[in-house]
Chain A
Amino acid sequence: MALTNTSKVKEDVWISTCCGQCYCMCGIKVRRQDGVVTEVEGNPDAPTGRGKICVKGLASPQLLYDPYRVNYPLKRTNPQKGIGVDPKFVRISWEEAMDTIVKKMKACQEKDPRGVYFQATTTQASEIRYGVTGFMKAFGTPNYWVSGGGLHCGNGAHFMNGIMHVAWSIIPDFAHCNLPLNFGCSKGHGAGHVAVQNATQAADSRARGSRTITFDPMQSAQASKAYEWVPIRVGTDGAMALGLVNVLLNDLGVWDDEYLKYKTNGPYLIRPSDGRYMRDKETNKPMVWDLVDNCPKVHNDPSVTRVQYEEEAHDVALFGEYDVDGVKCRPGFELLKEHVKKYTPEYVSEITFVPASTIRRIGKEIADNVEIGATVIIETDEGPKKIPKRPIAAHFFRGSQGHVNSGWTCLSIDMINHMVGAADTWGGALGLGAAVGAGYKPTGKPYQIPYPDEDGLLMCKAWVYDHIPYPLRKPKPPTRLDLHDMFPTSIYNAFTIMNPKWFEMLEQFKIPYRPDIMINFGSNSVMTMGNAEIVTENFLKKFNFIFSFQLYITEFEEAVADIILPDTCFLERYTPAVSFPSTFSHPTGEDDWGWTIRQPVIEPMYERRDFNVVMMEICKRLGILHKYYKALNDVTVIRYGGAMSDEYKLCEDGSQEHTWEEVVDRMLKDRFGPEHGLEHVRKKGVFTWPKRKEDVYWKWFNPSRVPVYFEYFIDSGEQITELCKQMDPEKKYINLDWSVFKPLADWYPCPTHTEKNPEFDMHAFYWRAVTQTNSMTQQNPYLDEMSQEDTIVFGIQMHSKTAAEKGIKEGDLVWVENPEGKKIKGWVTLSEGIEPSHLAFAAILGHWGEYMPVAKGKGAFFNDLVMMDEPHTDPLTLNQDICCRVKIYKD
């Protein structure tokens, strides 16, 4: 349908590009009629999306044209900062904005460039991994965090999935999985990763008759579509998983012998004195016990190694005591099997509120469905190959891992898969995204085939960040403002920077500089991390100068920004690499690989300018443009799997400048050959090439093993304990329990589970509504209207019976208060679809900012209850605990 009065129409075109409403990065086609963007559809050519696009992507014309967008640079004229302070923004010219910014940046550069702190949004994940990282390297600052995702996302999940699957996340092989076990995650149900294709795959799976079991405190989309909803207490998924592992190993005697022997470190011999590997004296490699030759062998001795399924190898021991060099050792798997015995269904039931009989029954269902010993034949580049078929998969994401027990919860859930061999093989749990791939054949890029390290464990070739998931980082005296480089895992934390004595802490840890300038790219951290007052007062107000690339004047800009730069949205810019590195963009399964690009559908309106272009201009004025180009060349190696060839490298010696379009063009030509540059790729918005089946089901094609006994955690625990002892002997600033760095999985309670005050009788948590998630969606009036179609989005969901007991009725205004005295207001919506002791909030709502009138006043601001302190931090992954014990009372 063109404009109805066709005589007026001069232009009606569809442009292929990539969505930017969240990090799923689906390929889209956008309609432009007479210069106006009018419609969005999925791009059938793009394997990331395959012709479908979600409710948020569809609604994006209202984002592009929102009259409340920031269209001109703005300057704060009120020197006072804080929540509720009128910033008195005035319009300024780009020239004034840039002059001010560059002057401040220059001063910081001369004093200590580490005073710059980059804060970014996960929604624009591609910009983070390229331009943001490139700038930080060029300028010379290590200080960075992302808000919105980050600590509310996957510090635990990405950590564990990296170690176990070289992937950012995991997902069932929906096409063949018969029993997906969903630990409260929205994957396949709209708000999760690879949102639209996973939804297609999950729907196909339901139609095929798969039996999903969903553990969730509320009847979420995933629970309501499941064959069985198991209401569970928030934050206890790890205990549930260990209960199931125990039922499998110790009650039913079910595990995958072959998998554990040749694809894990389960047979590695452990010495009793310190729990470490028994190593070969000559090679220092871990050893297994060869049951045929009846002697120890190094783990990768050809006689005890099976790379492909059909290879043969000697049997090795998973049980027993063996004498090596006079030391009596036992295989790690046996230690694990004994360790999980304490997670009896009765004990787990007390923790999780799930009946013991249900735990036993589900354990039996896993055993009955996993088909250990079954195989299928797949077609590979080397012809047909036999691989194991294991049609069960346990998966999870933020809900189950946003807790003090984050790291071990993730591991425990995934351990179900690894006990029965259902990992990265047919029907099982697959690494999500482009975890494994040999690249486009003519260039061999992007290349990301994992490989084993000296100890035989899975190593990454390409990764989302510079720090790969294994081995863990060695703790060393910190240099960062969040001290993060002293910790063995993850990317950033909150408990340091949110400490009211942050600067004293920096003194203690010998950090010689202080925060000076914050650059914000698209984040609203006043609302997205935790209690707004704490974030603002303890952290953001410590910066001397804050400038922000933003679409709206959010609560962040209102509270603390000195200058706002009007950014372009995803429909107005180029992005060279969107679906790589793939975190949440590529679907699993047998579709092609696709490298999507983003290209402008219209020229930026008003005085909006693309973040990428402005950062280049800032670099130029700071005299570091050549360093910026070099940094972009450098990050390409690990982010996008393989170095830039000399021909297409950005100029590193300062003799040449590139436009941003040219940066895109060079990246494409480097990856896919000179004939596949921007002019070629912009037609379809994507470059595709075939995916090999051995890259989908890679487990039995790769010589790596994965740990089930986390021996190397012991070293990390000792190192971080020692470092903290040296630097903070009185534990004045860091008093985390480092004993969680240990080789075997356990469940630990959150403060929610140990609260003694009976007044605080409810568990509160938040969930991701499909219309309002992973992006700044609340100001979009189409999404706002759609959200009002489901009362649980803007209401506080409460069980009808519990509400009746408290005299609360549908629509009542209530206060919800945590034990620390933080409270939020909202209205109640009654439901049967929630565990009776829980309150559910859709995140992240409750805006109060004056400049986002559509969003203002809708829903409750759950994050105000989130405390970002040590008791709410997982020592293993530094992840943030996002459940609270609360009381609820009428206004």
Chain B
Amino acid sequence: MARYGMVIDLNRCYGCYACAMACKVANRTPPGVFWARVLRGEMGTFPNSVRQALPVLCNQCEEPDCMKVCPTGATYKTDDGIVRVDKDKCIGCAYCVMGCPYGARYKVDDWNSYFPEGLPLSPYEEHTKEFWEQKSGLGVSTKCDFCIDRRAEGKEPACVQACSAKARVFGDLDDPDSEISYLIKTKRGFVLRPEVGTEPKVYYLPPR
């Protein structure tokens, strides 16, 4: 059984937000929900300052804190290492939203339109609303699942497919011959906040 992970090459990434948008469109996430997100930071002082884009998503941790704090067992790991939520078991306590050291979980109580109130929903928003309610659910915790449905159709996760910089590589960490294993090994792959000890499976390659 594979153990899925992702590599994000910060040298290739130029911060275009296509990953975050592709995720939004593929998963029909409502306002304020970014299963994939691009953070911005600035380091150093002029003229040696650096603006850095940092794409983030659920790290699909090997030892997920979100799973530990879940009182009902709604959060579980699949055999291939993806951290998922069983919306029927989730009671919406949001401990996992607080417990995730990476801010990757979102609980949506009320579905909201992207447009100002007072108008009937567009056919597209009717669709996204239905999609969200059926797949992710309201009043429960939601998160990235490495696009489990797309992968079932033989496609890559939406954020990987959309990346014009080819900065994202999805693959099997247990396969020593996979591209991501090779990249992590040879290009100084690192994880975010290793000190929290959750063993993230999203790796980053340094900006330069």
Does B associate with A?
Answer: yes
Q: CA A206 – CA B13 in complex, angstroms?
A: 10
B12, B13, B16: which has the most chain A beta carbons within 10 Å?
Answer: B16
- Of the candidates B12, B114, B122, which one forms a contact with A206 in the assembled complex, judged by CB atoms under 8 Å apart? B12
Q: CA A3 – CA B14 in complex, angstroms?
A: 33
Find chain A residues with CB under 8 A from B115 CB.
Answer: 66-68, 781, 853-854
- Of the candidates B20, B116, B149, B164, which one forms a contact with A786 in the assembled complex, judged by CB atoms under 8 Å apart? B20
Q: CA A231 – CA B29 in complex, angstroms?
A: 39
Instruction: With A5-B134, A786-B21 as known contacts, state yes or no: A225 contacts B14, CB within 8 Å.
Output: yes
A781 close to B25 (CB less than 8 A): no
B124 close to A36 (CB less than 8 A): yes
Contact code string A1-20 (vs B, CB < 8 Å = 1, else 0)? 10111000000000000000
Which of B34-42, B99-107, B196-204 is the interface stretch?
Answer: B34-42
- Of the candidates A51, A204, A786, which one forms a contact with B17 in the assembled complex, judged by CB atoms under 8 Å apart? A786
- Of the candidates A203, A789, A791, A833, which one forms a contact with B37 in the assembled complex, judged by CB atoms under 8 Å apart? A789
B21 close to A36 (CB less than 8 A): no
- Of the candidates B21, B120, B122, B208, which one forms a contact with A782 in the assembled complex, judged by CB atoms under 8 Å apart? B21
Of all chain B residues, the one with the shortest Cβ separation from A52 is B164
Is A189 at the interface (CB under 8 A from chain B)?
Answer: yes
Find chain A residues with CB under 8 A from B42 CB.
Answer: 831-833
Query: For chain B residues 113-140, which have a beta carbon within 8 Å of chain A?
Result: 114-116, 119-120, 122-128, 130-131, 134-135
Find chain A residues with CB under 8 A from B13 CB.
Answer: 203
B38, B114, B161: which has the most chain A beta carbons within 10 Å?
Answer: B114
B124 close to A61 (CB less than 8 A): yes
Q: CA A365 – CA B16 in complex, angstroms?
A: 30
B164 close to A197 (CB less than 8 A): yes
- Of the candidates A1, A33, A231, which one forms a contact with B127 in the assembled complex, judged by CB atoms under 8 Å apart? A33
Q: What is the number of contacts between chain A and chain B, taking CB atoms within 8 Å?
A: 170
For residue A540, give the distance in angstroms from its CB to the closest CB of chain B. Answer: 28
Find chain B residues with CB under 8 A from A782 CB.
Answer: 21, 24-25, 114
Contact code string A170-211 (vs B, CB < 8 Å = 1, else 0)? 000000000000000000011000011101101110110000
For residue A51, give the distance in angstroms from its CB to the closest CB of chain B. Answer: 8
- Of the candidates B17, B120, B122, B127, which one forms a contact with A770 in the assembled complex, judged by CB atoms under 8 Å apart? B17
A4 close to B131 (CB less than 8 A): yes
Is A53 at the interface (CB under 8 A from chain B)?
Answer: yes
Instruction: With A190-B16, A204-B166 as known contacts, state yes or no: A66 contacts B122, CB within 8 Å.
Output: yes
Is A229 at the interface (CB under 8 A from chain B)?
Answer: yes
Is B92 at the interface (CB under 8 A from chain A)?
Answer: no
B14 close to A221 (CB less than 8 A): yes
B20 close to A196 (CB less than 8 A): no
Of all chain A residues, the one with the shortest Cβ separation from B40 is A790
Of all chain A residues, the one with the shortest Cβ separation from B38 is A789
B46 close to A799 (CB less than 8 A): yes
B22 close to A221 (CB less than 8 A): no
A781 close to B14 (CB less than 8 A): no
B14 close to A832 (CB less than 8 A): no
For residue B8, give the distance in angstroms from its CB to the closest CB of chain A. Answer: 12
Query: For chain B residues 159-188, which have a beta carbon within 8 Å of chain A?
Result: 161-167
B53, B124, B208: which has the most chain A beta carbons within 10 Å?
Answer: B124
B166 close to A203 (CB less than 8 A): yes
A33, A54, A64: which has the most chain B beta carbons within 10 Å?
Answer: A54
Find chain A residues with CB under 8 A from B135 CB.
Answer: 1, 4
Of all chain B residues, the one with the shortest Cβ separation from A37 is B124
- Of the candidates A36, A196, A835, which one forms a contact with B164 in the assembled complex, judged by CB atoms under 8 Å apart? A196
Of all chain B residues, the one with the shortest Cβ separation from A196 is B164
B116 close to A39 (CB less than 8 A): no
Instruction: With A66-B122, A224-B51 as known contacts, state yes or no: A834 contacts B46, CB within 8 Å.
Output: yes
A58 close to B25 (CB less than 8 A): yes
For residue B127, give the distance in angstroms from its CB to the closest CB of chain A. Answer: 5
Q: CA A497 – CA B125 in complex, angstroms?
A: 43
Query: For chain A residues 763-822, which have a beta carbon within 8 Å of chain B?
Result: 770-771, 781-782, 785-786, 789-791, 799, 801
- Of the candidates B16, B45, B126, B166, which one forms a contact with A54 in the assembled complex, judged by CB atoms under 8 Å apart? B16
A4 close to B134 (CB less than 8 A): yes
Of all chain B residues, the one with the shortest Cβ separation from A791 is B40
A221 close to B124 (CB less than 8 A): no
Q: CA A552 – CA B114 in complex, angstroms?
A: 17
Q: CA A195 – CA B44 in complex, angstroms?
A: 29
Q: CA A633 – CA B135 in complex, angstroms?
A: 52
Q: CA A286 – CA B26 in complex, angstroms?
A: 62
- Of the candidates B14, B114, B120, B131, which one forms a contact with A190 in the assembled complex, judged by CB atoms under 8 Å apart? B14
Is A219 at the interface (CB under 8 A from chain B)?
Answer: yes
B17 close to A771 (CB less than 8 A): yes
Find chain A residues with CB under 8 A from B51 CB.
Answer: 219, 224, 831, 833
B164 close to A58 (CB less than 8 A): no
Q: CA A854 – CA B31 in complex, angstroms?
A: 13
Find chain B residues with CB under 8 A from A786 CB.
Answer: 17, 20-21
Is A643 at the interface (CB under 8 A from chain B)?
Answer: no
Contact code string B2-29 (vs A, CB < 8 Å = 1, else 0)? 0000000101111111101110111010
Q: List 17 A-B contacts (CB under 8 A).
A: A4-B130, A36-B127, A52-B164, A65-B122, A65-B123, A67-B119, A203-B12, A203-B14, A221-B15, A224-B50, A224-B53, A231-B47, A785-B114, A789-B39, A790-B40, A791-B40, A832-B42
User: Would you list the 8 A-B pairs with minimal beta carbon distance, nearest first?
Assistant: A1-B149, A832-B49, A781-B114, A65-B122, A203-B165, A4-B134, A65-B124, A190-B16
Chain A residues with CB under 8 Å of chain B are: 1, 3-5, 33, 35-42, 51-55, 58-59, 61-62, 64-68, 189-190, 195-197, 199-200, 202-204, 206-207, 219, 221, 224-225, 227, 229, 231, 770-771, 781-782, 785-786, 789-791, 799, 801, 831-836, 853-854
Q: A54-B164, A199-B165, A831-B51 are in contact. List 6 more A-B contacts (CB 8 A).
A: A54-B18, A189-B16, A190-B16, A231-B46, A782-B24, A785-B114
